[in-house]
Structure 1
């Protein structure tokens, strides 16, 4: 497996705070245990004039660009709420950041498993020599995809963005405040059941530029239960053992994370970390990494959702 030098992540949230209890009081009623099952008490939305690309730029601008700008020759952007249908936000972001025209630019239309799958793509891009240093950006504004009264989705999602700088070699002149690691992907696995796409999807909508989000939460939960044990076994077979892995799991809801914890033999409640900011789609794992100590020697990623898909990876990690 090739080694990657990873810097960050940096993250950004929507500026408008949403109190979930107040949202439910306004548009309910709901079951008494609703918030216990979802797990989220606070969410964040963007104003109407702020796009997913604006959030992406905000996350990038938090990293001083004096040390990485000249090194970056690749940009991979993951989103399902791009400003335009085509081109996607990666190309618009390349112009917005004034990156050189030789930059390898790629848009990935993905969601909840987007970070795990995009990391595999970036690894392949670097290994193939298409780029040496890649900005891996994830950004979405899901709160624009539904009305607040749609309680199957509105108490779950926040608008968020994240960025990692991923390189095939160590970068120089890295500021002291930037978190840096050496990564080696030692296991990865992916599952898709496109026949269940309608259970969690964004469809065209005359009233919303980015479309309309619909979700059958029970079907998504059943999909995860149907596949998670097989995915974990596949990662075990590749990595040899998962005993020392520190896990970062997509924060779909407390209920689904609890189900994953049981399969991983993790302490109940230990992997649900997003009560204060909600489900930020493909940025879910980077948000957790931003809050982590970064000292773990082996980390694992599990994402699941839109597709329906599930993806996992195990990474050896060394802080540098």
Structure 2
């Protein structure tokens, strides 16, 4: 079943390519400890993060998205896609969208291209959008990229958020296929609660509060998050969405081989995994080495797990995300046989298993 209100379509999105990309600059906990008079132990204990990659000056979201997208197309054994979707909170510009720029740089100049803005849930929303386009016969092959450069919107003087967020991009290629074949993506659960938009926000820069050089405060110009409240909401909605998805699929939690949530905070991930009754070894996370990369976090975690050969063909993978809006969403993937996936770190080096 796709979503909560529709039946299983005759055509489903099938995962055929996967890749990630991270900028080369790295900020360690020791770097931040010097800036904020804190310690590596304090940061690890509250976030589970040891380091994060950040874009260099002049390096934009599209630059990361293009490289992740190029590598995903190579993984899929194709150079083409008729649709390009970029899920991001940090587009290159407020106008135009980033996806057409990415498509053009990849040589996909006639592809349909648009952005999805669901903050950290953007990749799951993008998967659902791709599923709808494929089921309707509008698209045959979709390149979906989650890409964010949070370093461009997080105040470097804000300890609470500067220790959490990193930059990166992850991408998948989806083709039209059969709902029962390996790689099929489905059983979506999506939701939102706009009455709590203030919990995760960049206040200024939109039509509600346009940026002005004289009146916009530093705080309103940067990303803000009310951490304690977000923690509670994230655990609640991630757990409920994952359970809804399992119910749609007629599955129990112990039938899931891998749980890959949005890499928000290791304490959140463990709490949700515990609520679902999943053993710790089924939780997949790479937050220690990349931090919270927004819409890029799920595909980056998938690329990391695939490169380490942790996920095997035929295994069931549950994806769940929560982000600003508030938004949340989950879906299932029957893991396919993919071409060897290079590790998302710059240079593509394989990690030690």
- TM-score normalised to structure 2 length: 0.80
| Residues in 2 aligned to 1:265 and 1:29: alpha-carbon distance in whole angstroms | 34
User: Please, which of 159, 179, 189 is the counterpart of residue 167 of structure 2?
Assistant: 159
| Residues in 2 aligned to 1:106 and 1:276: alpha-carbon distance in whole angstroms | 30
In the TM superposition, 1:200-215 aligns within 5 A as: 200-203=200-203, 204=205, 211-215=221-225
In the TM superposition, 1:1-320 aligns within 5 A as: 1=8, 2-29=11-38, 33-63=42-72, 67-69=77-79, 71-101=80-110, 103-169=111-177, 182-203=182-203, 204=205, 211-242=221-252, 243-245=254-256, 246-268=258-280, 270-292=283-305, 293=309, 294-295=311-312, 296-319=314-337
Q: Which structure carries more strand by proportion?
A: 1
2:57 aligns to what SS in structure 1?
coil
Q: Which moved more, 1:37-46 or 1:235-244?
A: 235-244
What are the ranges of 5 or more consecutive residues in structure 1 without an aligned counterpart? 171-180
Instruction: Tell me by how many angstroms 1:255 deviates.
Output: 1.3
- Indicate how the Cα distance of structure 1 residues 156 and 77 shifts in structure 2: closer, same or farther if over 3 A, else same: same
Q: Deviations over 1:264-317 (max 9, x none)?
A: 212347444320111111111111211223315211001012111221112233
Q: Is the 8 A contact 1:8 1:290 kept in 2?
A: no
1:319 aligns to what SS in structure 2?
coil
Q: Is the 8 A contact 2:243 2:276 kept in 1?
A: no
- Indicate how the Cα distance of structure 1 residues 63 and 163 shifts in structure 2: closer, same or farther if over 3 A, else same: closer
| Residues in 2 aligned to 1:264 and 1:76: alpha-carbon distance in whole angstroms | 31
- Indicate how the Cα distance of structure 1 residues 230 and 57 shifts in structure 2: closer, same or farther if over 3 A, else same: closer
RMSD, aligned α-carbons:
2.5
